[in-house]
Structure 1
């Protein structure tokens, strides 16, 4: 981990225009994902509540998008869903238990750090805890993604992770907990083999990082 905050590239904060969103949505559908395009985070929150099952365990991956939109609270605090986190209770300092907690849920809901116009999803993690359910551990996966995360290609997506997502997370953790962050693992999802498994909710406004 770096002692000083990584340099922040704010150019990755700007939302993609409608043409780029449409290209990404079309490519994602071609790669086997279900795609919903909504105007606001509030609409995404309502949609996700409608998409999530009430009779199966749901795991909320750590995500500022889920926190800021209220989706994490809906799942973990409302009592309406079978929340994996709520059922697990306080795991305290057991890092291994927290990493394993969401490895194979029935359903995972989270976000990613970049979506390419070619229909790939990129997500980085320090521990890698959300990568297992994203890749294949969960029977169903839902990702809520702000428009500022749409990028032209994989190379730009990786630059966004290192130049924007990591610095923002580094600063968030440092300000809130006096801790820092780093990139331990990066997952690239290029195509979904199982019909109906993966759903991407693209939000026309920026949310998360």
Structure 2
């Protein structure tokens, strides 16, 4: 039985890296969340607007705080507030819910605020992805999203707001046309949902 919480093994990580590369994504593999944090700090320019998607991966790695609270970056959240979600930021940094070994990406959302920028609105996209999110195929990626991620996110939201979360919108990214637009930072250790 798949738990969806264990880090991918080296062979599965290599297949996903190759699959993503073949589909037009730039891929960087790091060992730890701290290395991902340092890499993102280097990838995001200080003079460009950056929007951080709500993400446990980013929160746990300290990336959200770096981008939104440090004052070192032009944070869309800090400058314009939570409701002023930019549809076309220079950069968006977030995570995804599943990556297939063939390089497909699955993202679910209750609000959908990150989906437009992920799909085409943002000039550059950076996804930080714990290797436990790597799955065999798209069917397994959708199952992971509905059965695993939604359950954990719902528990988190219920603790904060007294009501469970839900999936209202789902994005499946098959390929990226510009190989410099989307960078996937694969973290060998498990982080996030």
TM normalised by structure 1 equals 0.90
1:75-133 alpha-carbon deviations (Å, 9 max, x no partner): 000011000000013x5xxxxxx2x6131101000000000000011000011111000
- Report the equivalent of 1:173: 157
Instruction: Describe the SS at the equivalent of 1:13.
Output: coil
Partners of 1:195 and 1:166 in 2: how far apart? 30
Q: Which of 131, 134, 138 pairs up with 1:147?
A: 131
Partners of 1:185 and 1:176 in 2: how far apart? 21
Judged with a 3 Å threshold, the aligned counterparts in structure 2 of structure 1 residues 42 and 25 are, in CA distance, closer, same or farther, namely same
Q: Which of 5, 11, 16 pairs up with 1:19?
A: 11
Which of the pair has more CA radius of gyration? 1
1:113-170 alpha-carbon deviations (Å, 9 max, x no partner): 0000000110000111110000000010000000100000000000000000000000
- Report the equivalent of 1:125: 109
1:176 Cα deviation (Å)? 2.3
For the Cα contact (< 8 Å) 1:10–1:164, is it kept in 2?
A: no
Cα root mean square deviation, aligned: 1.2
Q: Which of 174, 177, 180 pairs up with 1:190?
A: 174
TM normalised by structure 2 equals 0.97
**Does 1:57 pair with 2:59?**
no
Structure 1 residue runs of 5 or longer lacking an equivalent are: 1-8, 92-97
Judged with a 3 Å threshold, the aligned counterparts in structure 2 of structure 1 residues 173 and 10 are, in CA distance, closer, same or farther, namely farther
Structure 2 residue runs of 5 or longer lacking an equivalent are: none
